[in-house]
């Protein structure tokens, strides 16, 4: 909407708004550009703080080292596994529960919903959960990262709200008259009409799996099962890549000097999957947050 006849005070106000937002925009964007530039600079330039905006002494040594580190590949493959299968379990469980709980004609749906909602506000904490996982024999297995957290109640509420509000009730009546069972209605009608919400769930759960590290840290001891985030933690928080894991001897010698640039390259590499998918799901993401804001 355009307004003519802006007063002087309005112009001042809008200019101030523009300045504040531009400043914030730069503050958010600048570190991203800095990391990208530093990752393409030489180790020496990064170490001595010469990189300010653009790459200095353009070089790929950071990336070469990262890709020559076998643990990075192990972590990448494991994270991909946890993300794909974990998200599959999440979405299947969440959609099933959301569909059933959206059916107001099912006696007891409010009681069962409360059973889920209550866990959002009160939980047993990490220690008793750990003891449970131990008791179930899931410690140090891939299951420990797939099964606990299979349903996030917040996402369940979002999905249930979507199904209840956006699939017309007449469809259920028509399907019932045609002899469709509750199970068939879920598979043939509800799921195909819920593509938008499934995309939202895939995004929320997928990012959660890709980014999680704490559960892996307490449940997994075997390095072959580590997700990428745990290797990242070891490298980013501790000071260097363990030289014994790098096969190339020449690389080993350069590691000390290149510590900084390796970290920047690693940050970029770990963000790549998310940044590739992000543009495609951005509109669903906003939609998901908005559905979630409807009181559940």
Partner 1 sequence: MAKHDVVVSQGKRTLKKRMLARWQLYLLLLIPVAYILIFAYGPMAGLIIAFKKYNVRLGIFDSPWVGFDNFRKFFSSYKFPIIMKNTIVISLYSLVVTFPIPIIFALLLNCMNGRIYKKMIQTVTYIPYFISSVVMVGLIFQILDNRSGIYGAVYKMLTGTIGPNIFADGSLFKHIYVWSAVWQTTGYSAIIYIAALTNVDQSLHEAALIDGATRLQRVRYIDVPTILPTASIMLILAVGNIMNIGFEKVLLMQNNLNLNYSEIISTYVYKVGLASGLNDFSLSTAISMFNSVINFILLIVANWGSKKLSGSGIF
Q: Using CB under 8 A, which residues numbered 161 to 220 contact partner 1?
A: 181-183, 186, 207, 210-214, 218
d(CA 195, CA 199): 6
What's the closest the beta carbon of residue 256 comes to partner 1, in angstroms? 13
What's the closest the beta carbon of residue 168 comes to partner 1, in angstroms? 19
- Does residue 64 belong to the site contacting partner 1 (CB under 8 A)? no
Cβ atoms of 219 and 133 closer than 8 Å: yes
Specify the stretch interacting with partner 1 by CB under 8 A; choose among 80-88, 240-248, 249-257, 269-277. Answer: 269-277
| Residues in contact with 105: Cβ distance below 8 Å, sequence separation at least 6, in sequence order | none
Could you say which residues in the range 22-51 bind partner 1, by CB under 8 A? Answer: 24-25, 27-32, 34-35, 38, 46-51
Cβ atoms of 149 and 94 closer than 8 Å: no
Q: Which is nearer to partner 1, 125 or 192 (CB)?
A: 125
Q: Is 55 exposed, middle or buried (0-12, 13-18, 19+ CB in 10 A)?
A: middle
What's the Cα-to-Cα distance from 270 to each of 22, 69, 232, rounded to whole Å? 28, 14, 8
Q: Which is nearer to partner 1, 161 or 212 (CB)?
A: 212
What's the closest the beta carbon of residue 98 comes to partner 1, in angstroms? 9
Q: Which is nearer to partner 1, 242 or 248 (CB)?
A: 242
Residue 13: CB atoms within 10 A of its CB come to: 12
d(CA 75, CA 87): 17
Specify the stretch interacting with partner 1 by CB under 8 A; choose among 63-71, 192-200, 244-252, 266-274. Answer: 266-274
Residues in the chain: 296
Q: Which is nearer to partner 1, 7 or 249 (CB)?
A: 7
Specify the stretch interacting with partner 1 by CB under 8 A; choose among 57-65, 69-77, 165-173, 256-264. Answer: 256-264
What's the closest the beta carbon of residue 249 comes to partner 1, in angstroms? 25
Selected binder of partner 1 within 139, 148, 167, 252 (CB under 8 A):
148
- Does residue 10 belong to the site contacting partner 1 (CB under 8 A)? yes
Q: Which is nearer to partner 1, 126 or 256 (CB)?
A: 126
- Does residue 293 belong to the site contacting partner 1 (CB under 8 A)? yes
What's the Cα-to-Cα distance from 290 to each of 93, 158, 238, 286, rounded to whole Å? 22, 9, 39, 6
Structural tokens at position 229: 């985030």
Could you say which residues in the range 81-140 bind partner 1, by CB under 8 A? Answer: 93, 96-97, 99-101, 103, 105-108, 112, 115-116, 119, 121-132
- Nearest alpha carbon to residue 276 among 125, 80, 82: 80
Handedness of CA 82, 85, 87, 89 (dihedral sign): negative
């Amino acid at each position: 909407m355009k307004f003519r006849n802006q007063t002087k005070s309005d112009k001042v106000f809008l200019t101030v708004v523009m300045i504040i937002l531009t400043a914030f925009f730069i503050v958010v964007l600048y570190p991203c550009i800095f990391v990208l530039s530093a990752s393409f600079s030489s180790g020496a330039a990064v170490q001595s703080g010469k990189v300010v905006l653009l790459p200095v002494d353009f070089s790929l040594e950071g990336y070469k080292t990262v890709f020559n580190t076998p643990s990075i590949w192990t972590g990448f493959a494991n994270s991909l596994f946890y993300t794909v299968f974990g998200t599959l379990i999440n979405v299947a469980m969440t959609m099933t529960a959301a569909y059933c709980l959206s059916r107001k004609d099912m006696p007891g749906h409010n009681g069962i919903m409360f059973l889920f909602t209550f866990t959002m506000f009160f939980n047993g904490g990490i220690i008793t959960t750990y003891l449970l996982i131990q008791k179930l024999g899931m410690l140090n297995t891939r299951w420990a990262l797939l099964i606990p957290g299979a349903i996030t109640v917040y996402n369940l509420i979002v999905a249930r709200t979507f199904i209840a509000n956006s699939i017309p009730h007449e469809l259920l009546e028509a399907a019932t008259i045609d002899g469709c069972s509750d199970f068939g209605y879920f598979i043939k009608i509800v799921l195909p009409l819920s593509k938008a919400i499934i995309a939202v769930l895939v995004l929320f759960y997928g990012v959660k799996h890709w980014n999680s590290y704490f559960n892996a840290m307490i449940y997994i001891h075997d390095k072959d099962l580590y997700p990428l985030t745990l290797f990242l933690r070891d490298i980013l928080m501790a000071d260097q890549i363990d030289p014994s894991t790098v096969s190339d001897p020449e690389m080993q010698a350069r590691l000390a000097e290149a510590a900084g640039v390796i970290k920047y390259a690693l940050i970029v590499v770990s963000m790549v999957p998310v940044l590739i998918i992000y543009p495609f799901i951005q509109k669903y993401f906003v939609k998901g947050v908005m559905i979630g804001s409807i009181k559940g």
